[in-house]
Amino acid sequence: MHVRSLLPLLILAVAAPAWSQTGPKVLFDSLHAQTAGNADWVLDEDTCGTAQRYPTPSSSGITASTPETYWGGAYSAFGVDLVKKNFQVESLPKGGRISYGDSTNAQDLSNYKVFILPEPNVLLTATEKSAIIAFVRNGGGLFLIVDHAGSDRNNDGKDSTVVGNDLMASTTWGIHLQTGTEANNWFDDAPNSNFTTDTSSPIIYTGPYGSATRGKGLGLFGSTSMTLNPSQNATVKGHVWMTTATAGSNSQVTFATSTDGTGRIAVIGDSSPSEDATNGCGHTTYDGWTSSLYDDARIHLNAVAWLAAGGGGGGGGDTTPPSAPSNLSATAVSSSQINLSWTASTDNVGVVDYDVFRSTDGSNFSVVASTTSTSHSDTALAASTTSWYQVKANDAANNASAASNTASATTSAAGSPAKVILNELLANEPGSDTTGEFVELVNAGGTSISIAGWTITVGTTLRHTFASGTTLAAGKAIVVYAGASAIPAGLTNAVAASTGSLVLGNSGATVIVKNGSTTIDSLTYSSSLSGTDGVSMNRSPDASATGTFVLHTTLSTLSSSGGKRVNGTAF
């Protein structure tokens, strides 16, 4: 075993027979096929294919000289080294579940500082993704470890790059993993030490476990790269790039970080550096962690330390929770959607966001969303079903308020009439490219409807006629951009104005949606809703037929969201 250098703090701890196990708690996921095929991305498993919550023997027996073979999984070296640095480690085993804010779950993410997702090979459920995102936004640290495209260990058609992108599609973290036929989705690059030039990088230069060494860095064997999008998240950063790339660019990144709310995210495109050769049950793994040729362990440990330091560090001793949100109301707007709104909380420092809890029996509540707004649309619900809701406020020191009042609503029966509404309009496009103007329609009813031949008129001038065959499903949106060149790549529910323009006046205008001579919906807006460059006007609550129009920035960190929900997720 390669002997790694120890910091002075660690050397002092050698005098004790074992660590006190009082540091930050780290949870390793083993719910998502981490032992499928030749994989073995677990700390320990007493039964093949089933990692237990607490690795055995107990971590309390680990001393400075304990070898990584103390546990039996290929992540044993990772886990043992974390314990030596006073972290507490657990696995989330089969039979467990990912939640946030659910007091009935002993392994709820709120009980941990860092959640490590080592090469997940099964898509996360919507509930799991919501819980992870809420965990991060409330100060948690997420370490996403994926592998090269095509590394589908359980042959379900979804490898870890697909799983990772699916999770991050619900976020604004600004990270995309190369997969499918995209460039640099499978390569070897060892040693990979094309480091960032930012000498303040906590991953490479200033982490508590020492600086990485140029000429060593990461040992990448079958890796994918990442593309960063700083326009989506200004905090996203690359720390290591492919040897052939330009350090500081937004492409060919191999190790990246980002932040969301008070939490932090780290992503690496290869599982080889974080595994070791200890495994069983017919698995095959690579000894990346203990190899003296690379700085794999140092970089990963620095990353965990950085992730664990999120959440505002206690906010300078702030122990005062926000006041409870008040006046929570719930309104069913279709057979699958309930809109919520409430009065903002107050805090001695400042409210960061709100957690929305849902119950199906009026007694047991689980978190379903986290938002910075004072409204939320709960979607994909069953028809003719009653749901109960509560909301809690959080501050930067992770103090949570008491629960709001409880509000309930019942979704309408399936097949309720379609109801098409104007939901979002952008009159004052970013810059001077008027093709960026758009009008978004949403079907807030419970039945699909044909909108073929319907028109959009601005003032008295016809600007768009919907083509033959155009339908709008219940709960879905369609957005009309002034010009085809402005339609974002990958947005499938968007069309260009049939007349080639919209001419939405910045100082105000009247927009009318008609079916023949029948007015379906209309809006007369003033400069108060259209006078800010790049900021749209949006219903509040989003997609609510009774909602009023407000500036998009009062509902979300995004300035607009044409064709998507107000938080940037798909309809």
Q: How do 494-496 and 477-481 pair as beta strands?
A: parallel
Which of 542, 549, 439 minimizes the C-alpha distance to 497? 439
- Mean pLDDT, range 420-438, rounded to an integer: 93
Rounded to whole angstroms, how far apart are CA atoms 371 and 298? 35
Which of the listed ranges 45-59, 311-325, 406-420, 485-499 does the model predict with the highest average pLDDT? 485-499
State residue 318's pLDDT score.
Answer: 52
Which of the listed ranges 335-339, 351-355, 372-376, 505-509 does the model predict with the highest average pLDDT? 505-509
The model carries a pTM of 0.55
**Domains, the chain:** 8-314 (3.40.50.880), 326-410 (2.60.40.10), 420-554 (2.60.40.1260)
- Residue 456 corresponds to which amino acid? I
Residue 109 has pLDDT above 80, yes or no: yes
State residue 368's pLDDT score.
Answer: 84
Residue 111 has pLDDT above 80, yes or no: yes
- Residue 479 corresponds to which amino acid? V
State residue 349's pLDDT score.
Answer: 66
- Mean pLDDT, range 194-201, rounded to an integer: 93
State residue 46's pLDDT score.
Answer: 81
pLDDT tens digits, one per residue of 292-349: 899 999 999 999 989 988 763 322 345 678 899 999 999 887 788 898 999 999 987 6
- Mean pLDDT, range 20-47, rounded to an integer: 81
Q: Is 226 left (phi over 0), alpha (psi -120 to 50) or beta?
A: beta
- Provide the mean pLDDT of the chain: 87
Residue 282 has pLDDT above 80, yes or no: no
Q: What confidence category does residue 13 fall into, taking pLDDT thresholds of 50, 70 and 90?
A: very low
To the nearest 10°, report the CA torsion of 290, 295, 299, 300: -20
State residue 19's pLDDT score.
Answer: 42
- Mean pLDDT, range 539-563, rounded to an integer: 92
State residue 353's pLDDT score.
Answer: 80
Q: Which two tokens stand for residue 492?
A: 């499938």
pLDDT tens digits, one per residue of 118-174: 999 999 999 999 999 999 999 999 999 999 988 888 788 888 999 999 999 989 999
| Phi, psi of 224, deg, nearest 5 | -115, 160
Which of 475, 523, 483, 520 minimizes the C-alpha distance to 500? 483
Q: Up-side HSE of residue 168: CA atoms within 13 Å toward CB?
A: 31
**What proportion of the chain, given as a percentage, has pLDDT over 70?**
94
Residue 7 has pLDDT above 70, yes or no: no
pLDDT tens digits, one per residue of 180-192: 889 999 999 999 9
State residue 22's pLDDT score.
Answer: 59
State residue 90's pLDDT score.
Answer: 92
Q: Where are the alpha helices (DSSP H) in 199-329?
A: 296-308
Using alpha carbons only, what angle is made at residue 284 by residues 152 and 240, rounded to the nearest 5 degrees?
65
Rounded to whole angstroms, how far apart are CA atoms 239 and 300? 12
State residue 17's pLDDT score.
Answer: 35
Range in 234-238, 240-244, 317-321, 546-550 the model is least confident about: 317-321
Which of 86, 68, 97 minimizes the C-alpha distance to 26? 86
Q: Name residues whose C-beta falls within 8 Å of residue 204's C-beta, 6 or more positions apart in sequence.
A: 195, 196, 211, 212, 239, 240, 299, 302
Rounded to whole angstroms, how far apart are CA atoms 114 and 303? 10
Residue 11 has pLDDT above 50, yes or no: no
To the nearest 10°, report the CA torsion of 517, 518, 520, 523: 60
**Cβ atoms within 10 Å, residue 315:** 21
For residue 411, give the DSSP letter.
P
pLDDT tens digits, one per residue of 477-498: 999 999 999 999 989 999 999 9
The C-alpha R_g of the chain, in whole angstroms, comes to 25
Rounded to whole angstroms, how far apart are CA atoms 365 and 367? 7
> How far does CA 528 lie from the centroid of its chain?
32
State residue 398's pLDDT score.
Answer: 60
Q: Which two tokens stand for residue 2?
A: 């390669």
Rounded to whole angstroms, how far apart are CA atoms 297 and 209? 9
